[in-house]
Amino acid sequence: MTAIVKDEVAAAHSPHVQVESIVKHFRGGGLLGGGPTVRAVDGVSLAIARGETLGLVGESGCGKSTLGRALLRLIEPTAGRVTIDGVDVTALAPGPLRRFRKRAQIIFQDPYGSLDPRMTVAESVAEPLRIHRLAEGRAAIAAEVARLLEQVQLRPELAGRRPHELSGGQRQRVGIARALAVRPSFLVADEPLSALDVSIQAQIVNLLSALREAERQAWLFVSHDLRVVRHLCDRVAVMYLGRIVEEAPAPSLYARPRHPYTRALLSAVPVADPSRARTRLVLEGEPPSPSSPPPGCPFHRRCPLYADKGRPARCRDERPLLEGESGHRAACHFSADFA
């Protein structure tokens, strides 16, 4: 293999998005702002290659959406480093950050709230083209808008309508077209299906699947729906109480999860064949508050293994590391039991 070919292979497999120990803490409320600090994201490290889709899953309130927005600096991280396409995003001043926006975009959960009600579909999609000067003149902008609407499978006659005249699925397609308009290399999809009717969700899943195959972008797909994640994502990271507790290639994670929390999540996923249905693992209690996480393993108070193994002191006192082999890592002292 020549040196040039080796360099090309290395570039193809090197992380396009590198996340190093990202933290996002929110100061507590109260009359004098003296409440407890909320540890929404508490030291997350991830890597996403170009052309790869990483699914980020977990219960509501675990920090998934906060992490996605912190990576793009839509909210400022408290600590840590994010590198996208070789650029340290966390070090950018406001001016360079605005210019960098065209390389990293987000598809929001609420398609209605993310669109200006005063703008037509064509105006909403054209806005990022004008801001970043990606098309000059009315004819060029109109042609690019038409191409984008076709790409997200919206009929041309919808270009003159406003958000309240569209269905939820159509509004989400407009949001996707806006995100794609600047030809980003990294996309965060923040629960893009949760605000849609079930009958529409499959259409948007098929659209996202087609887009990720046609483009060579890196995607972070935030969702609580493990069925959709299995269909769309190459790898999956499971988040609990602001931390990643398991990360693996999707086939490996779904076939043999190594963290009790992941096993509980998967046991709740409906299956079409009743003969293959799993025994439901019901977790006791509610997730701890991110303002007062427990010592040791953050999951131990709800963990079935903790009780089964006689409540070992190690689980109460020692936080497990995220470790493993063959790209399958879990933060559990007993992950080897499932390997």
Contacts of 133 (CB under 8 A, 6+ apart): none
Q: Looking at the chain, which runs of residues are DSSP E strands? A: 15-26, 38-49, 53-57, 79-84, 87-88, 104-107, 186-190, 218-222, 235-240, 243-249, 323-325, 328-330
Contacts of 280 (CB under 8 A, 6+ apart): 267, 268
Q: What is the DSSP string of 172-193?
A: HHHHHHHHHHT--SEEEEESTT
> Under CATH, which number does the domain 15-27+36-233 receive?
3.40.50.300
Contacts of 96 (CB under 8 A, 6+ apart): none
For the chain, the C-alpha Rg in angstroms (whole number) is: 21
Residue 133 C-alpha from the chain's centroid: 28
Task: Return residue ranges of the chain for CATH 3.40.50.300.
Answer: 15-27+36-233
Residue 279 CB-density burial (10 A; 0-12 exposed, 13-18 middle, 19+ buried): exposed
| Cα–Cα distance measured from residue 237 to residue 231, given in angstroms and rounded to the nearest whole number | 15
Strands 323-325 and 328-330: antiparallel
Contact between 270 and 285 under an 8 Å Cβ cutoff? The reply is no
| Residue tagged 């996403």 (tokens) | 48
Count of CA atoms in the C-beta half-sphere (13 A) of 52 = 20
**Predicted confidence pLDDT, tens digits, the chain (339 residues):** 444 433 443 444 579 999 999 999 998 765 556 678 999 999 999 999 999 999 999 999 999 999 999 999 999 999 999 999 999 999 999 999 999 999 999 999 888 888 999 999 999 999 999 999 998 889 999 999 999 999 999 999 999 999 999 999 999 999 999 999 999 999 999 999 988 888 899 999 999 999 988 878 999 999 999 999 999 999 999 999 999 999 999 999 999 999 999 999 999 887 766 656 567 777 877 888 999 999 999 999 999 899 888 899 999 999 999 999 889 999 999 998 887
| Cα–Cα distance measured from residue 297 to residue 174, given in angstroms and rounded to the nearest whole number | 42
Q: Which of 237, 213, 211, 251 is nearest to 47 (CA)?
A: 237
Count of CA atoms in the C-beta half-sphere (13 A) of 12 = 6
